[in-house]
Amino acid sequence: MGRVNNILACHENWVLLDYTVLRKRMAGEELADLANDEQLTGRAWFRGICSNAETTCDMKSVDQ
């Protein structure tokens, strides 16, 4: 859905990221690329980050 631009901090299971949203989900569940002027940037704390982007890491849900 997007790109990580920068890793700013981490604390325990949390990572603070600067990111850009590059795609959006359409009504039919397909993904559509956003035009350059529609892409959104933000900064937020995330958890449940996997060190291997090619897998799900088979980790417990972060919502438990």
Residues 6+ apart with CB under 8 A from 3: 19, 20, 22
Judged against a pLDDT cut of 70, whether residue 62 lies above it is answered with no
Judged against a pLDDT cut of 70, whether residue 64 lies above it is answered with no
For 6-59, the pLDDT digits (tens) are 999 998 888 999 999 999 988 887 899 999 999 999 999 988 776 666 655 665
Give pTM, 2 decimals: 0.67
Q: Residue 53 has what pLDDT?
A: 62
Q: Residue 28 has what pLDDT?
A: 83
